[in-house]
Structure 1
Amino acid sequence: MKSMLSIVKEQISSFYLILRLSAFEMKSANMNNYLGRFWEILNPMIQLSIYWFVFGMGVRKGREVPMDHGIHVPFLIWMVSGMVVWFFVNPAILNASKSIYTRLQLIAKMSFPMSAIPSFVIMAHFYTHVMLVAVVTLILQFTPYKLSVYYIQLPYFMFSTLVFLLALSLVTSTLSTIVRDVQQIVQSVLRMTLYLTPLLWHTDKLMVGGVDLTIILKLNPFYYLVEGYRASLLGTSWFVVEYYHYTLYFWALTLVTLIAGSILHLKFRSRFIDYL
């Protein structure tokens, strides 16, 4: 617990620095492109078009997706409201995992907590995420799923996503610095996670040999975040309260991950230069 509190204090004390470095990170990522930051919106839209054609028109043949309280949502809207989370967490996890060992010069020249390095990488992707959520929200205003009181859940789920990504990145960035193969494992797991999370397909029951395995899929913490975003953007339920058991599970898992990541990070960071 002391390790976790130390990491939290470092994040708070370095908050201004994290914001500045994340802003620079985002600008430098697009400085050589003529369209600049527009690619941060264009790329997801291109991918969504492909997913909609393959899964929406091909696999589901245009059928609507059932949600809470008997509400049925067109597949495209259902997919977009969930994929907006994936377009944040996927690059954030990948880049935060390799953030320490790819920034040797930054570590050597500047004096600040190393735990801030994954944080500013995640925050750089969060800026793009906010822009994408704004675009999706604007698009939804031309559908039956307009702004509603359920949107007040959205900041909570954004905060939840940031905290979980920080906790996870402390684990993966430390292990990736010690053993480079971990980065390859992270990439492989994320590829599987895309299809193990209700992003492109929906099921009420996953029956295998007469046994319902749906609960296993719901142990995935991204299930909680994705469904929470959907409930907020589409106004289908008070997800935090109605599924309080998932809320408790998510925060318990996040706390355990944060404690484990903090212990790992503090134990090995004095030797990061040796591994680099």
Structure 2
Amino acid sequence: MNNKKRKEKPALRQGVSKKTGLTIFTLVMLIMGVIIACYHNPLANQMDELIKKIIACTLIVVAVVAVLKFYDKIILLPFELYQNRRLIWRLAKNDFKRRYAGSYMGAIWAMVQPVVTVAMYYVVFQVIMPQKAQLLGDGIEVPYLVFLTAGLVPWFYFSEALTNGMMALLEYEYLVKKVVFKISILPIIKIIAATFIHGFFVLVLLAIAFLYGFTPSLYTLQIFYYSFCMFALVLAISYTTCSVVIYFRDLQQIVGIGLQIGMWATPVLWQLGTLSKKAQMLVKINPLVYIVEGYRSSIYEKQWFWEDFYSTMYFWIITVVLFCIGALVYKRLKVHFADIM
């Protein structure tokens, strides 16, 4: 009898936890929906504003329905990540060191790569094919090298983290076949390892901006926020790609081609303001636009992230939806990983 009671207590705690989690998530989504519905920008086009509200509220409903229906499957993933947070950090550092093991310069190669990349683009776009300074809406001219680097830094982070996260399960195949190992932590390990390189890339960006007269300010701290945005977005996508690539190896090539196209579809090499308002709305469906433009606003536009209200709400709603999809896909396909690999 006592054993039965002891067994029931964890179940009760789990039930209460589930109820509390569902209540908190639903309330947060509801509050976001109310804020979006009530928010009004007098300078914006009313029709454009209405379309943004409809899209945001639709995504909120999708996220709430998915979490209510598949709560147990979705919540298991973030719980495992939090539970193994120390192991994740240790393995991420080892993964970063292992990448350059055996070379004389070691991890220094990770710092050389961004410097060489920026130098190459400088030669191409400033020496061989000189580009004009980018003129912002408030009349500020931004040297093209600063404009370009501010776009390349987040894009290279996304490209490397997405590719590494997608291949995480295949690279650590020997761990996937171990029953006791939590393989759900493998994608985040690869993404954290890519973040180390991104950190040095950010320092290169700040140095270039400083040389052109854009001194760091409070706005610059937003780079931490936008880096976290990129981390969350890539993590959300990676659980879908790392699961599907085991069954469909051609996904690796498709993602590679998609990244090539995506670099031009995202305002990395060109300015978003050159497009019409309707074209801008279409391009902003891509959540990477929010991050790339955010890096630039942190360096030289002097704009806080909450000032672009709809873009901020849209980004986090779409990230939550993508994470829910990734968690469900991973949970559904996980049982056959060891058999197929």
Task: Please say whether Structure 1 and Structure 2 have the same fold, judged by a TM-score greater than 0.5.
Answer: yes
* Aligned pair partner of 2:313 in 232, 248, 252: 248
| 1:83 matches 2:83 | no
Change (3 A) 1:197 1:55: farther
- The answer for unaligned runs of 5 or more in structure 1 is none
Does the aligned pair in 1 maintain the 2:175–2:183 contact within 8 Å? no
Alpha-carbon deviation of 1:252?
1.3
Alpha-carbon deviation of 1:131?
2.1
Question: What is the CA–CA distance in structure 1 between the aligned matches of 2:272 and 2:316, rounded to whole Å?
Answer: 24
Does the aligned pair in 2 maintain the 1:231–1:237 contact within 8 Å? yes
Question: What is the CA–CA distance in structure 2 between the aligned matches of 1:70 and 1:177, rounded to whole Å?
Answer: 50
Alpha-carbon deviation of 1:246?
0.7
1:3-60 Cα shifts (integer Å, max 9, x gaps): 332111111111111111110110011112222222222222222233333345555x
Question: What is the CA–CA distance in structure 2 between the aligned matches of 1:68 and 1:18, rounded to whole Å?
Answer: 43
1:67-114 Cα shifts (integer Å, max 9, x gaps): 353322100011112211122111111111111122211223473322
Does the aligned pair in 2 maintain the 1:85–1:226 contact within 8 Å? yes
Does the aligned pair in 1 maintain the 2:162–2:238 contact within 8 Å? yes
Query: 1:105 corresponds to which letter in structure 2?
Result: Y
Change (3 A) 1:217 1:204: same
Question: What is the CA–CA distance in structure 1 between the aligned matches of 2:249 and 2:170, rounded to whole Å?
Answer: 9
Which residue of structure 1 aligns with residue 257 of structure 2?
188
Does the aligned pair in 2 maintain the 1:145–1:235 contact within 8 Å? no
Which residue of structure 2 aligns with residue 229 of structure 1?
295
| 1:15 matches 2:80 | no
Query: 1:47 corresponds to which letter in structure 2?
Result: T
Which residue of structure 1 aligns with residue 336 of structure 2?
271
* Aligned pair partner of 1:165 in 197, 216, 234: 234
CA RMSD, Structure 1 to Structure 2 (Å): 2.0
Does the aligned pair in 2 maintain the 1:205–1:212 contact within 8 Å? no
* Aligned pair partner of 1:138 in 199, 204, 207: 207
* Aligned partner of residue 216 in structure 2, secondary structure: coil
Query: 1:5 corresponds to which letter in structure 2?
Result: I
Question: What is the CA–CA distance in structure 1 between the aligned matches of 2:140 and 2:89, rounded to whole Å?
Answer: 40
Q: Which moved more, 1:39-48 or 1:96-105?
A: 39-48
Question: What is the CA–CA distance in structure 2 between the aligned matches of 1:68 and 1:85, rounded to whole Å?
Answer: 23
Which residue of structure 2 aligns with residue 178 of structure 1?
247
Does the aligned pair in 2 maintain the 1:167–1:254 contact within 8 Å? yes
Question: What is the CA–CA distance in structure 2 between the aligned matches of 1:267 and 1:188, rounded to whole Å?
Answer: 27
| 1:117 matches 2:186 | yes
Query: 2:174 corresponds to which letter in structure 1?
Result: Q
TM-score (norm 2): 0.74
Which residue of structure 1 aligns with residue 167 of structure 2?
98
Query: 2:256 corresponds to which letter in structure 1?
Result: Q
Larger Rg: 2
* Aligned pair partner of 1:34 in 94, 99, 104: 104
Question: What is the CA–CA distance in structure 1 between the aligned matches of 2:126 and 2:322, rounded to whole Å?
Answer: 35
Which residue of structure 2 aligns with residue 220 of structure 1?
286
Q: Which moved more, 1:116-125 or 1:143-152?
A: 143-152
Question: How many residues are aligned here?
Answer: 271
Does the aligned pair in 2 maintain the 1:71–1:236 contact within 8 Å? no
Change (3 A) 1:250 1:214: same
TM-score (norm 1): 0.91
* Aligned partner of residue 101 in structure 1, secondary structure: helix
Does the aligned pair in 2 maintain the 1:48–1:80 contact within 8 Å? yes
Question: What is the CA–CA distance in structure 1 between the aligned matches of 2:138 and 2:180, rounded to whole Å?
Answer: 53
Which residue of structure 2 aligns with residue 50 of structure 1?
120
Percent same amino acid at aligned positions?
28
- Higher relative contact order (Cα pairs below 8 Å, separated by 6+ residues): 1
* Aligned partner of residue 35 in structure 1, secondary structure: coil
Change (3 A) 1:203 1:224: closer
Question: What is the CA–CA distance in structure 1 between the aligned matches of 2:334 and 2:169, rounded to whole Å?
Answer: 10
Larger proportion of helix? 2
Query: 2:306 corresponds to which letter in structure 1?
Result: V
